[in-house]
Amino acid sequence: MPRKKVASDDQQVARVRHLKILNILKESPTASIKELADRLDISQSTIRRDLDELTTQGLVRRVFGGAILERQNWNEPPFELRETLHSQEKDKICRCAAEIITDGDILFIDGGTTTQFIVPYLASKKNLTVVTCGLNVAYELNRLENITTFIVGGELYTDSHSISGALALAVLDVYKIRCTKALIAASAVSAEHGVTNRILDRIPLKRKAMEISQKSIVLADGSKIGTVALGQIAPITEFSDLITDASAPEEEIAAIRALGVDVHIAV
């Protein structure tokens, strides 16, 4: 199976700009092209092209001389933008994660923009069973005949392409699902504050996945290490492994290792 394509350098640069534009527009009702160009230190023509693309995606609305955010109630950037952010690092992290998955494992694979990158690296494994709440993960798994895949039921979160809620928790309880390893995605990881997430509604299913699994592994690119998000999934000591990349702060990695967590640096 071909590896999931990662974005080109130019695409990643554009995605980062788009995220910055959306964050600026969340801060104030409107922003002019000149203001955006000045704050991002790029040309006004580039800003115009970015705004045209974001308008086509339905994310912003152009007004005279600038733009406004189309939706003011976003909790986090759109999935399609986050999917390509740090995509090369996420690919390396998932390749590393696949190395600690063994034939016959029963995996819980969390939803999100990181975990989907693991699927191509599972193609050579034998007798795998995967339980997932990620529609994007399930779609990629559907192409692999060597893996039996179960999707938990529940409420669909379109901004993360994942399923969560009380029904998802009930499915795991009713069938007494048990997994050997849980691969958990998160917004932030730190030695002091543990593994945290921006969206509170998604935390209970992550906790449940850890509860039903023999080992819990957190996957987080270096930009998330040493940071803190709104709600705690669990202390870092409840995870057997952290898999990140070389951009993670060395001091924070040392502090996490000192707590007994096996930290893998993907290269």
Domain shared by 189 and 229, yes or no: yes
In the chain, the number of structural domains is 2
- Residue 2's pLDDT is what? 45
Both 134 and 96 in one domain: the answer is: yes
Expressed as residue numbers, the domain containing 90 is 86-266
Residue 158, pLDDT score: 77
Confidence of residue 205 (pLDDT cuts 50, 70, 90): very high
- The DSSP annotation for 160-222 comes to TTEEESHHHHHHHHHTT--EEEEEEE-SEEETTTEEEES-GGGHHHHHHHHHTEEEEEEE--G
Domain match, 229 and 165 both:
yes
Residue 4: exposure state from Cβ atoms within 10 A (0-12, 13-18, ≥19): middle
User: What is the C-alpha radius of gyration for the chain, rounded to an integer number of angstroms?
Assistant: 19
Same structural domain, 123 and 198: yes
pLDDT digits (tens, 9 = 90+) for 165-193: 999 999 999 999 999 999 999 999 999 99
Average pLDDT over residues 80-106: 85
90 and 133 part of one domain:
yes
Enter the pTM of the model.
Answer: 0.76
Asked whether residue 2 is domain-assigned, the answer is no
Q: Say what percent of the chain tops pLDDT 90.
A: 72
Percentage of the chain lying above the pLDDT 70 cut: 91
For residue range 102-123, what is the model confidence (pLDDT) as tens digits? 999 999 999 988 999 999 999 9
Q: 109 by DSSP, 3-state: which?
A: strand
pLDDT at residue 7 is higher than 70: no
Same domain? 96 vs 193: yes
Q: Are residues 174 and 239 in the same domain?
A: yes
Q: Which among 75, 100, 120 is the end of a domain?
A: 75
Average pLDDT over residues 48-77: 80
Which of 55, 75, 95 marks a domain boundary? 75
Q: Are residues 24 and 120 in the same domain?
A: no
CATH number, domain containing residue 259:
3.40.50.1360
- pLDDT, tens digit, 9 for 90 and up, residues 146-170: 999 999 999 998 777 899 999 999 9
d(CA 121, CA 56): 34
